[in-house]
Structures are given as C-alpha cells and as structure tokens.
Chains A and B, each alone.
Chain A
C-alpha cells in the first residue's frame, strides 16, 4: 500500500511555455500533498503544501503565480510551472499523507528541463 505516482517522469519544454505535473495517490486518500524541488546534489526543499479543496500554502520565497498548485480531489494534485525559464529546470517531487497516517510517501519525481 501507500503508492504515490507522479507523471511525467521527465519533460523538456521551451522557454515561455507551461508544464503540468500530476501527483496521484493510488491506494489511499491524500488529505495533504506536498511539492518539493531538488537541485543537483542538494537536499529537497519544500515549495508548498496543499489540502484537498483549499488553496495551497507556499513556502517563503516561492512564487505562487509561477508555481500553480491544485488539489482538486483526495487522490490528485497538480503543479503547473507557468512561463517556464531555464532556471526552473529541476527535479520536482510530490508526497502525500492521509489523515490516518503519520508517514509521508513520495512519488518518483519529475525531471524538468527548460530549453
């Protein structure tokens, strides 16, 4: 149990375009989902927390208009990188928790390259 699936695994896009990344909890209801960003050889940095049906809470320094997060159902959250630029290239990872679990489980990550 506790499987989180992230799609796509990798994506290349042109500067100025938008990219959507999906995060799904396959076998549990994710009341809370989290989005992280990881640069090469660095740790994971929390970008935002989303609860189903409400607006995401962004960490300090994260542009909410650039990184749009939607948590429309108990099994799906999406991160849209709008007007992507090369500096947005990174590894994005989602995680999910349910109200009945204390552990967080992670998706396999999405490697975004903006050219």
Chain B
C-alpha cells in the first residue's frame, strides 16, 4: 500500500517563529488533506489540497503532486498551534491513509 512519511517527527518552536512541515507519499494520490490534532484528540481540517497552493491566515500549504510531496507552512506560530499535524492521502478509493505525523510544541 501507499506509504506516507512526515518530517520532522518533532518540532519545538518559540512563539513567533515560522516552520515548514513536509509530507512525502510513495504513489500518486487523488486527495490530500492536512489536519491538526489538538491536545484533546480532535482532528481539525486545515486544508484539502491534492495539488497547488492554498492559504488560510497564518497557514498555507503547497502540494506538488508530480513530485509526491506536500508542505505545510506555519508563520508567526502561537502556543495554540501546539499539537500533532497529520497529512492524509487518498488513492483511488474513499479511504484516507494517514502519515506518521509531526508533533509541534510552541513555547511562549
């Protein structure tokens, strides 16, 4: 099956810093989503981005489908950005396969 690897696995930042999270996938996909899992476990949809670039406030994402990767940019990070960020991909079916995740901690 398709493999989805994220890097870095852990990231520690001070408030105000910028960061880039990466998602690599091993095969072509027809759907890619980014999620933020908060400390209570809730998954929050950030982006649906099978290709191209999108921005939403301090967050933006870019997917280069031909090269099988996606990037999530967080600018001016805040403590509320802490949690785990997952990318998830779908290939030919309705099933979302999750990546390994990046655990982000933002300190004041």
**Interface of A (DSSP majority class):** strand
| Interchain CB contact under 8 A, B40 and A105 | no
Bound: A36/B98 CA distance, A: 10
Bound: A103/B33 CA distance, A: 8
Bound: A111/B42 CA distance, A: 11
Contacts known (A34-B95, A43-B98); A108 close to B31, Cβ less than 8 A: no
User: Chain A, interface size: which category?
Assistant: 20 to 34
Chain A residues with a Cβ under 8 A of chain B: 2, 32, 34, 36, 38, 41, 43-46, 49, 91, 93, 95, 97, 102-106, 108-109, 111
Residues of A within 8 A of B31 (CB): 102
**Interface of B (DSSP majority class):** strand
Nearest A-chain residue to B100, judged by Cβ: A43
Nearest B-chain residue to A97, judged by Cβ: B94
- Count residues of chain B with CB under 8 A from any CB of chain A: 20
Nearest CB on A from B11, distance (A): 15
| Interchain CB contact under 8 A, B86 and A44 | yes
Whether B79 sits at the interface, judged by CB under 8 Å, is no
Nearest B-chain residue to A93, judged by Cβ: B43
Pick the residue among B42, B48, B97, B99 that contacts A106 (CB under 8 A).
B42
Question: Taking each of B48, B86, B95, which has the highest tally of chain A beta carbons within 10 Å of its own beta carbon?
Answer: B95
Residues of B within 8 A of A43 (CB): 86, 98-101
Bound: A106/B44 CA distance, A: 8
